[in-house]
Amino acid sequence: MGFEEATPIQAKTIPLSKQGKDLIGQAQTGTGKTAAFGIPLIEKIDVKSPHVQGIIIAPTRELAIQVSEELYKIGMDARAKVLAVYGGSDIQRQIRSLKKGPHIIVGTPGRILDHIKRRTLKLNNVHTLILDEADEMLNMGFIDDIEAILETVPDERQTLLFSATMPAPIRRIAERFMKNPETVRIEAKEMTVPLIEQFFIKVPEREKFDVLSRLIDTQSPELAIVFGRTKRRVDELSNALTLRGYTAEGIHGDLSQAKRLSVLKKFKSGKVDVLVATDVAARGLDISGVTHVYNYDIPQDPESYVHRIGRTGRAGKEGMAITFVSPREMGYLRIVEQTTKKRMQPMRPPTWDEALEGQQRITMEKLDEAIKEGNLDEYKTVANELLMEHDDAVSIIAAALKVLTKEPDKTPVHITEERPLPAKKDQYHGGGNNRNRRGKSGQQPYKGNRNKSKPQRRSGRRP
C-alpha cells in the first residue's frame, strides 16, 4: 500500500493485538487506526474456513464501505474476503454475498442486526470484534444494537475499540464488554492534530453565509467540507452555495443511499468542491485533498468538533479548520478548547475586497500556468489585433482578468436562522461526554439535532 513505516498507534497496538489482548486504541484523527486494527485482523483470518471470523462495526454506511475497502486492500494478498453490509442498499444482494463465505464483515449496527435476525449472518465463529469510532458506537443511540450483536458473538473473542476520542463515561461502558482491556493512547499534547490550523470567527447568525462565501473566495480550498447543524441547514447551504456559483452538494441522513454515495463520489473526484454535511460525515471518512473544514455552526459537543476538523490534516498533510461562533455561543467554544487542549485563533472575516483579491489571484495563477504551458500561437493573432486597437496592454490584461475572474457573488440567498445553542455552560464543564446519562434522566445533555436516531430507536435508519 506504499506505507513506509508504521504510525505510532500502529506500532503500539499491532504487537499487543497479535497477543490476543483486548484493546482500547485512542489516537488522533487521520493517524492510521484502520490499518492498526486491520493488519492484525487479516493475519488472524483462516482463509480456508468459510466462516465469518471478524466483524467490524462502524457508525455510518459510508464509513463501513470505506473501512471494508481498506481491509480489502490489506487482505488482498492473503485473499481474505471482506463484505460490507449497511442499510439503504438491497438486502437480497447482500444475502447472496453473505452466502459466498466472507471472512470479515464490516457493517452498520442496524443492518448487521437485521441479518442476524434473518439468520443470514452467523457470528458464532467470530474471534475478533472491532468497534471503529468506539465512543460513537457506545453512546446511547447505538448501545442497544451493539449489545444485541454482542450477544451472538462468542465470549472468548478478542474485542478491539478504536477512536480519536474516548470520554471517560463511555470508556466505562466499553469496559463491560471487554476482558482486562489495555488502553493504548498515543500521548499528544493536544487531542487534535498539530497539522490542522484552527481558527474561529465570531459572527452573528445572519452574516454567516456572506462570511462563508468570502472565505471560500479568499482561501480557494482544494476540497472543503462545510458542517451544518441540521439537515435543513445542509440543504439550504448547498442550494445557496450553488446559487452563488460554487460546485457544492449536501449529504445527510434523509437522502437516499444512492444519492449519498454519488455525492461522496463526486466530492472525492473533485467534481464537487464543497461538500456540505451534517455530522454523518464527521467520523472516520478519509478523503484526500480536503484542505479546509468550515464549521458553519459550532458543534454541540467537543468530540464532534475533534472528528469534524479531523477530515482535514490527515496522514501528515496540512489543513485548516474555521469555526463560526455566534456571540452567544462563545461558552461552547471555550468548552471545546478545554477538551482539545488547544486554543483556536480568532480570525477576522474577510472583506469583499479581500475576496476579490483572492479570486484575482486565482485568475493570475491560471494565466501564469497558461503562459508556462505555451501553445498560444492560435491566440496571438487576436492578441495583436487587440493591441493595435487599444494600444494599452495593461487595459487589455485588466479586461481579460475581469472577464476570467469569478467576482465575489452577492446573489441574495435564504438561510433559515437557527437558534443559538442554549447557554447552559455548567453542564459541559470538565470536558466529559455525559451522553450516556441520557436514558436515565430523560434529559439530553447534548441537546439538539445531531441527525441521528433517538436514543432508544432500533431501526436500521441511521444518520
Q: Which does 32 bind (CB under 5 to 8 A by kind): ligand ATP, Mg ion, none?
A: ligand ATP
Query: CB 344 → ligand ATP: shortest distance, Å?
Result: 19
Q: Which is nearer to ligand ATP, 60 or 213 (CB)?
A: 60
Which H/E stretch holds residue 55?
Answer: strand 54-57
| φ and ψ of 235, to 5 deg | -60, -50
Q: Which does 170 bind (CB under 5 to 8 A by kind): Mg ion, ligand ATP, none?
A: none
Distance of CA 116 to the CA centre of its chain: 28
The answer to whether 171 touches 23, Cβ cutoff 8 Å, is: no
HSE-CB of 169 using CA atoms within 13 angstroms: 12
433 Cβ contact partners less than 8 Å away, ≥ 6 residues apart: 135, 139, 165, 167, 168, 169, 170, 301, 302, 303, 446
Per CB under 5 A, the segment of 4-12, 30-38, 39-47, 267-275 that binds Mg ion is: 30-38
Q: Which is nearer to ligand ATP, 310 or 463 (CB)?
A: 310
Q: Which is nearer to ligand ATP, 35 or 240 (CB)?
A: 35
Residue 290's SS3 state is: strand
Which H/E stretch holds residue 234?
Answer: helix 231-243
Query: Which residue of 33, 61, 252, 311 would you call a contact of Mg ion, by CB under 5 A?
Result: 33
Q: Which is nearer to ligand ATP, 30 or 102 (CB)?
A: 30
Query: CB 33 → Mg ion: shortest distance, Å?
Result: 5
HSE-CB of 317 using CA atoms within 13 angstroms: 17
Q: Which is nearer to Mg ion, 21 or 33 (CB)?
A: 33
Total length of the chain: 463
Query: CB 34 → Mg ion: shortest distance, Å?
Result: 5
Residue 430 carries which DSSP code?
A: T
Helix residue spans in 140-194 (DSSP H): 143-150, 168-176
Q: Which is nearer to Mg ion, 130 or 255 (CB)?
A: 130
Q: Which is nearer to Mg ion, 184 or 203 (CB)?
A: 184
Query: CB 275 → ligand ATP: shortest distance, Å?
Result: 15
Map the footprint of Mg ion across residues 397-416, applying CB under 5 A: none
Instruction: Say how many residues touch Mg ion, by CB under 5 A.
Output: 2
Query: CB 277 → ligand ATP: shortest distance, Å?
Result: 14
Q: Which is nearer to ligand ATP, 4 or 155 (CB)?
A: 4
Query: CB 110 → ligand ATP: shortest distance, Å?
Result: 20
C-alpha cell at 449: 439535532
Query: CB 228 → ligand ATP: shortest distance, Å?
Result: 19
Q: Which is nearer to ligand ATP, 165 or 238 (CB)?
A: 165
Amino acid (one-letter) located at 396: I
The answer to whether 53 touches 82, Cβ cutoff 8 Å, is: no
Q: Rule CB under 5 A: say whether 314 interacts with Mg ion.
A: no
Interface residues toward ligand ATP, by CB under 6 A: 3, 6-7, 10, 27, 29-35, 164, 284, 286, 310, 314-315
Q: Which is nearer to ligand ATP, 25 or 460 (CB)?
A: 25
* Sign of the four-CA dihedral 348, 353, 358, 359: positive
Query: CB 208 → ligand ATP: shortest distance, Å?
Result: 26
Map the footprint of Mg ion across residues 270-299, applying CB under 5 A: 284
Q: Which does 31 bind (CB under 5 to 8 A by kind): Mg ion, ligand ATP, none?
A: ligand ATP
| φ and ψ of 17, to 5 deg | -60, -40
Distance of CA 371 to the CA centre of its chain: 38
Q: How far is CA 13 from CA 78, 179, 247, 410, 445, in A?
A: 21, 16, 41, 52, 33
Query: CB 106 → Mg ion: shortest distance, Å?
Result: 12
Question: Which own/partner pairs from 232-236 qualify as long-range (CB within 8 Å, at least 24 positions apart)?
Answer: 232/416, 233/278, 233/296, 233/297, 233/415, 233/416, 233/418, 234/276, 234/277, 234/278, 236/413, 236/414, 236/415, 236/416
Q: Which is nearer to ligand ATP, 7 or 13 (CB)?
A: 7
The answer to whether 363 touches 401, Cβ cutoff 8 Å, is: yes
Q: Which does 6 bind (CB under 5 to 8 A by kind): Mg ion, ligand ATP, none?
A: ligand ATP
Q: Which does 3 bind (CB under 5 to 8 A by kind): Mg ion, ligand ATP, none?
A: ligand ATP
Query: CB 310 → Mg ion: shortest distance, Å?
Result: 9
Q: Which does 362 bind (CB under 5 to 8 A by kind): ligand ATP, Mg ion, none?
A: none
Helix residue spans in 141-227 (DSSP H): 143-150, 168-176, 208-219
Query: CB 279 → ligand ATP: shortest distance, Å?
Result: 13
Binding site for Mg ion (CB under 5 A): 33, 284
